[in-house]
Structure 1
């Protein structure tokens, strides 16, 4: 991650929120319970900012602003962290608004342009929802800065506390404004406020705020090696940024176990929660952390993530076995691909069975498998793994005649499935399944088998196209823009809204009396969702939406 920052005077490094070593004084030591949401104003506002900014696409990249970051204001041992930036002058906000205003419905709904103060837009929306006697101009504008973040920080024992950090321009005005907001919007809740640099740290109690502020000054998340490693791995930060520490899965199950223990004196739930904790720790034993970002850039919206050591059932495949998306025809409207490692279904069933307390069989699933085997004639789950092979790809061409789908006859449509694997074994399982279908009901199904693959479809010409491969989608600019690591993709989705103008055509056919639907579909260019492993076995995920 770059260390160069620009932006409004008085603001500095990227926004992040964090935690450090254990607070010098145990927060909440006075015995206050954290079982209830007693400071919903703070946590709710933080989560609301993230949700609204993420959904509306406003704010700025923390990288693009000046001095000071939410990550400087919270301890380095934070388990999870989400930050946003509401600076109205940075380039990502402009890019976001330029992109979103291409859609007539959003342009009308938001009523914003690049000069609007998004902070005012958000806080006025919050204040209008049940807050009496406070206004943005009088109680927020005099002190609010551009960045804010919400973190989950280890508390006393095994509990976890929420922590909200917000950039301020006037500490005295901030303390007064927060108190006014708490009285008006939070039904008189106590909120602790402490200051670290240009940031106000807000927690449920004053003692906690002071303790976390001291911990952040001693060791902040922004200086934590793991935090810096993971945020570097996702590249340039965006308008919303997320970090999850390696300790988060186990610590969160500790919280759940404590909650179960507080629910009553029954020993059984506590024992069950302890068993669940052990299973979660084992399932995530290799988990090293994760980070993500939501960013805008030149007509695209991207959600990027990186993680390492995820459980096998959700991890990317090292050597993708599925047919490549890039081998499809350039006229492809939509496609889906997924790769499978050896024994993937059995391994998944084993891990889920352990979590559910049912052992490798998954708690009674042996009887289910036997019933399915009797009904299908297959050996399960082995034949499912055989049928799906090393991976498969489902695709539809933009030449699809949507009007023909209303025909009483089964239409000949350019939809196909290509499966990579042992063709003879795949055919064996398919023949067993098709033998269960009444005669004549699947006569339209076309099948071609070759060396290491089987192709299925309803249109022979399209089946032949999928059999030959090398269709040229890999050279399409729209595809390259939304599937950045096409050669490594182990699972992904691609949609080309402009291919044959099928999207606007379908919108017009489905909503002939609502031209605004077609107008809001027209700006869409392509969508790509992909997952892959890099050379360090870090799993990357990317969702990119591009516009014309």
Structure 2
């Protein structure tokens, strides 16, 4: 039985562990329309923010995490959050054994991290002590640190009775229930904008006790861990993760529109515009994964994809970036479908974002015809490359290679855009290519590799940073190690700190129901 008369003098409710069958039949639960209690003071939400800060600060120690206990223990926070949660971020300081080992080995390649690992806990404690001393009556060293566990999550749970339409919920693992309750009871005596319940080693904290009880009731009906859509999204990430973020974008917008504050015309208009954008639909899951020689952040998006409809990065790149000269390329980006994507999105975006009248002067000055000129200008495949100066002086050289069916029209558009954007008449250099055109800010910069020169596609650093380049509709590459090495003013300590820094790679691979995005930092 759930108690509804919580308070400083009432016993807190601790729910029993959920039976296995509770996770097999997810079902959406909307919290009851509890009227929010009168609020006084403003520290309740700051305390919730402080506990979130504790997780972020603790995350600084993940890369140097001691692997004394390789077996991950305890349940994940999604097992104590309701199935109708629409957004969720968690940090796991007790990850699976493989991630602990990988994070440890990765940290050893960076002296600044490995040498300072023993001081990370002290630095974290100093930050959190400063926060809690100023924002609450709680003392971090004696009232927070002794019970703070290794897992924490922040979630958004729909509540149509609230102004925002969503309740913020913090799920924080504790190691000592008595000490945790003593700290939270102290807060509850003075703060009305604060409520919590406990379940399976977690405290669920939100902005009022009725809201906390409603969240607990939702958990007892069904959990996020048992929701099929969440489980499918999480499974799409490769391997174990150090941190996970997940959101049902369409459900989030729907919850915001259902809130009591959505009645204001300006807010409703903003939400209505957001609802028309494709980016506000579908779901997305993001994870951080460590290997002994790279750190990778992956995202998988689930959207309604219409077969045959053009979309940005919807087809694999044609390989222009891979054919660039490896020595001369400091950074590069290649993407397919820009022209058609602009054409398809133009009408909807101009309406959703309130564009229209303010563009007339610009269009008149440049002579642009939209969206037709955009199709020619950005074509079916566009590659941007950058070469940094070799010496201490000089400007970066930038070039774009575009595959397009109407190169003549595109080059005329480039010439017309120079003046409005402040480029002198001779600052942009265009030339036709076999499949389109090339434009650069330097007459002497042609990023295409010469005969016999090593290309990016044959470069091991590029191959390691962008492993799925053959299937990607968007590729990005930054030779970070070489850029750092070129710093003539770096000290010996700086050079030692970054000598193992490799490259940054980005790829977007189209899928039948969305896309997969990988962002990778490698070592050397």
- Relative to the length of structure 1, the TM-score reads 0.75
Match of 1:504 in 2: 485
CA separation of 1:211 and 1:403: change in aligned 2, threshold 3 A: closer
CA separation of 1:181 and 1:39: change in aligned 2, threshold 3 A: closer
Q: Cα deviations across residues 230-277 of structure 1 (Å, max 9, x unaligned)?
A: 11112234222101014434235426x74364xxxxxxxx23433433
CA distance in 1, matches of 2:359, 2:440: 33
Match of 2:198 in 1: 195
Match of 1:339 in 2: 336
Match of 1:73 in 2: 80
* Contact 1:46-1:150 at 8 Å conserved across structures: no
Q: Cα deviations across residues 107-144 of structure 1 (Å, max 9, x unaligned)?
A: 56xx324xx885x7645521232428755564335433
1:154 matched to 2:158: yes
Match of 2:37 in 1: 32
* Contact 2:77-2:153 at 8 Å conserved across structures: yes
1:174 matched to 2:180: yes
CA distance in 1, matches of 2:371, 2:450: 28
1:351 matched to 2:360: no
* Contact 2:37-2:208 at 8 Å conserved across structures: no
1:87 matched to 2:97: no
CA separation of 1:355 and 1:238: change in aligned 2, threshold 3 A: same
* Contact 1:288-1:309 at 8 Å conserved across structures: yes
CA separation of 1:277 and 1:433: change in aligned 2, threshold 3 A: closer
CA distance in 2, matches of 1:245, 1:36: 33
CA separation of 1:258 and 1:467: change in aligned 2, threshold 3 A: farther
Q: Pick the aligned partner of 1:531 from 488, 504, 508.
A: 508
Moved more, 307-316 or 224-233: 307-316
* Contact 1:455-1:467 at 8 Å conserved across structures: no
* Contact 1:304-1:541 at 8 Å conserved across structures: yes
CA separation of 1:190 and 1:121: change in aligned 2, threshold 3 A: farther
CA distance in 2, matches of 1:355, 1:286: 12
1:384 matched to 2:367: no
CA separation of 1:381 and 1:51: change in aligned 2, threshold 3 A: farther
Q: Pick the aligned partner of 1:393 from 360, 383, 389.
A: 383
CA distance in 1, matches of 2:430, 2:356: 39
Q: Pick the aligned partner of 1:43 from 37, 41, 48.
A: 48
User: What secondary structure sits across from 1:43 in the alignment?
Assistant: helix
CA distance in 2, matches of 1:436, 1:355: 25
Moved more, 323-332 or 308-317: 308-317
Q: Cα deviations across residues 66-115 of structure 1 (Å, max 9, x unaligned)?
A: 2311111110100100111123995535544554564455556xx324xx
CA separation of 1:462 and 1:285: change in aligned 2, threshold 3 A: closer
Gaps of 5+ in 2: 1-19, 21-25
Match of 2:7 in 1: none
Q: CA RMSD in A?
A: 4.2
User: What secondary structure sits across from 2:32 in the alignment?
Assistant: coil
Q: Cα deviations across residues 184-228 of structure 1 (Å, max 9, x unaligned)?
A: xxx645532322222222223333323322321220100001111
1:465 Cα shift? 3.2
CA separation of 1:436 and 1:127: change in aligned 2, threshold 3 A: closer
1:164 Cα shift? 1.1
Q: Pick the aligned partner of 2:431 from 424, 427, 447.
A: 447
Q: Pick the aligned partner of 1:52 from 52, 57, 76.
A: 57
Match of 1:495 in 2: 478
User: Which runs of structure 2 are paired with 1:10-409 in the superposition (5 Å)?
Assistant: 21-22=28-29, 26=32, 29-32=34-37, 39-53=44-58, 57-58=62-63, 65-87=72-94, 90-93=97-100, 95-96=102-103, 98-100=105-107, 102-106=109-113, 111-113=116-118, 118=121, 122-131=124-133, 135=139, 138-157=142-161, 159-180=165-186, 188=191, 191-251=194-254, 253-254=256-257, 258-259=260-261, 261=263, 270-284=264-278, 287-309=281-303, 316-320=312-316, 323-331=319-327, 332-356=329-353, 358=354, 362-372=355-365, 376-396=366-386, 400-403=389-392, 405=394
1:293 Cα shift? 1.1
1:543 Cα shift? 1.3
Match of 1:522 in 2: 499
1:393 Cα shift? 1.1
Across the two proteins, how many residue pairs are aligned to each other?
489
* Contact 1:531-1:540 at 8 Å conserved across structures: yes
Q: Cα deviations across residues 396-445 of structure 1 (Å, max 9, x unaligned)?
A: 457x5234627xxxxxx875321111234434445666899999963894
CA distance in 2, matches of 1:427, 1:308: 37
1:156 Cα shift? 4.0
CA distance in 1, matches of 2:466, 2:193: 48
* Contact 1:327-1:469 at 8 Å conserved across structures: no
User: What secondary structure sits across from 2:314 in the alignment?
Assistant: coil
CA distance in 1, matches of 2:38, 2:272: 26
* Contact 1:320-1:489 at 8 Å conserved across structures: yes
1:366 Cα shift? 4.7
User: What secondary structure sits across from 2:230 in the alignment?
Assistant: helix
- Relative to the length of structure 2, the TM-score reads 0.78
Match of 2:523 in 1: 547
User: What secondary structure sits across from 1:238 in the alignment?
Assistant: coil
User: What secondary structure sits across from 1:32 in the alignment?
Assistant: coil
